[in-house]
Amino acid sequence: MSDEQDTILGDSPFVLFDAWFADARRHEPNDPNGVALATASPDAAPSLRMVLLKDHGPDGFVFYTNAQSRKGGELLANPQAAMLFHWKSLRRQIRIEGAIEQVSDALADAYFASRPRDSQIGAHASDQSRPMASRGAFLARIAKVAARHMGRDVPRPPHWTGFRLIPRAFEFWQDRPFRLHERRHFLPDPAAPGGWTSTLLYP
């Protein structure tokens, strides 16, 4: 077995995320911003689904959804969540855990306005996560919403918004041969506000 050196280096998990995310955008063939989002109900029943990361920075990681969906309801009732990025082509993963806050109406409005018109109409027509009688019924609702907004901008529905995950922990995972993977865990540094400490974890 070769004597391998640590490769997950750096003091800031945000800087490291930026570097890995840039690699994913160059090499991952499908949805490099796709991320598994785990939420839980107030009584700790978990659920999991894929969402698309739409913004990120030192203030957190932003995605958008229908607040009346299952995930939206769980985020409002139990404002904490976990994310998992898995970039198979790079053989890398990043786990992020933290608190949840809603983005401002202005930010949600701006992002909604940037979406394709058909996606905007779909946000009005869909009762996300609720039972649907048939695909045809859904398509009829889409047509009705499209007719109602013919010739004018489609406003953001009040129940459609964004959420920001504010990290309290990161874990970066790099595949290694023989399942001897490299893992580095970051936590806020209590002695240096805004700083982070890190340690390697056994695979």
Length of the chain equals 203
- 179 carries an active-site annotation: yes
Q: How far is CA 196 from the centre of its chain?
A: 21
Sign of CA dihedral 45, 48, 54, 58: positive
CA-CA distance, 165 to 182, in Å (whole number)?
25
Q: Which of 91, 179, 183, 184 is catalytic?
A: 179
Chain-centre distance of CA 107, in angstroms?
16
Answer whether 20's CB lies under 8 Å from 172's CB. yes
- Looking at the annotation, which residues are catalytic? 179
